[in-house]
Amino acid sequence: VKDRVDVLHTIGGDDTNTAAADLAAYLATNGYTLQVIGLPKTIDNDVVPIRQTLGAVTAAEQGARFFRTVVADHTGARRMLIVHEVMGRSSGWLTARTAAEYVRMIERTEFPSVLNQSRGAHQVHAVYVPEIDVDIEAEARRLKKVMLRYGSVNVFVAEGAGAESIAAQLRAEGKAVPVDAFGHIKLDAVNVGEWFAKRLGAALGAQKTEVQKSGYFARAAPANLEDLTLIKNCTDFAVHAALNGESGVVGNDEQDKDRLRCIEFSRIKGHKKFDVSQLWFKNLLKKIGQPVPGEAEAAAAARQNAAAPTDLLTKASKL
Instruction: Quick: pLDDT tens for 169-225.
Output: 889 999 989 988 878 889 988 999 999 999 999 999 999 999 999 999 999 999 999
**Domain of residue 100, CATH code:** 3.40.50.460
Output the pLDDT for position 213: 96
Residues 163, 100, single domain; the answer is yes
Rounded to an integer, what is the distance from CA 11 to the centroid of its chain?
Answer: 21
Verify that 117 and 78 share a domain, yes or no: yes
Domain assignment of residue 189, yes or no: yes
What pLDDT, on a 0 to 100 scale, did the predictor assign at position 319?
58
Buried b (16+ CB within 10 A) or exposed e, 163-178: beebbeebeeeeeebe
Assess if residue 144 is contained within a domain: yes
Strand partners of residue 35: 7
Kindly report the average pLDDT of the chain as a whole number. Answer: 90
For residues 46 and 63, membership in a common domain is answered with no
The pTM of this model reads: 0.89
pLDDT of 76: 75
Q: Is the pLDDT of residue 3 over 70?
A: yes
Among 14, 44, 46, 253, which one carries the catalytic annotation? Answer: 44
Is residue 306 assigned to a domain?
no
- 182 and 95: one domain? yes
Q: Does 307 fall in a domain?
A: no
Mean pLDDT of 85-105: 97
Does residue 88 contact residue 95 with C-beta atoms inside 8 Å? yes
Residues 148 and 18 in one domain: no
Q: Is 195 domain-assigned?
A: yes
- The answer to whether 186 and 176 have CB atoms below 8 angstroms apart is no
What share of the chain has pLDDT > 90, as a percent?
69
pLDDT at 14: 83
Closest to 25 (Cα-Cα) out of 36, 14, 15, 16: 36
Long-range contacts made by residues 161-164, C-beta under 8 angstroms, separation at least 24?
161/92, 161/95, 161/128, 161/129, 161/130, 161/132, 161/134, 161/192, 161/196, 162/128, 162/130, 162/133, 162/134, 162/192, 162/195, 162/196, 163/89, 163/130, 163/187, 163/190, 163/192
Nearest C-alpha neighbor of 81 from the set 195, 205, 215: 205
Both 84 and 217 in a single domain? yes
Task: Tell whether 303 is covered by a domain.
Answer: no
Mean pLDDT on 263-283: 94
Strands (E), 129-271: 152-158, 208-213, 248-253, 259-263
Residue 240 is assigned to a structural domain of this protein: yes
Domain that holds residue 32: 7-52+223-267
| In a shared domain, residues 92 and 77 | yes
137 within domain boundaries: yes
258 counts as catalytic: no
pLDDT for 115:
58
In one letter, which amino acid is 255?
Q
- On whether both 116 and 183 belong to a single domain, the answer is yes
Lowest mean pLDDT segment, chosen from 33-47, 131-145, 214-228, 295-309 = 295-309
Pick from 132-141, 146-155, 180-189, 235-244: least confident: 180-189
Per-residue confidence (pLDDT) for residue 122, from 0 to 100: 93
Domain count of the fold of the chain? 2
Query: 216 with 260, same domain?
Result: no
Q: Residue 266 pLDDT more than 70?
A: yes
- Helix, strand, or coil (residue 191): coil
Least confident of 72-76, 92-96, 157-161, 199-203: 72-76
Q: Does residue 132 surpass a pLDDT of 70?
A: yes
Q: Are residues 179 and 257 in the same domain?
A: no
What is the rounded CA–CA span in Å between residue 176 and residue 310? 57
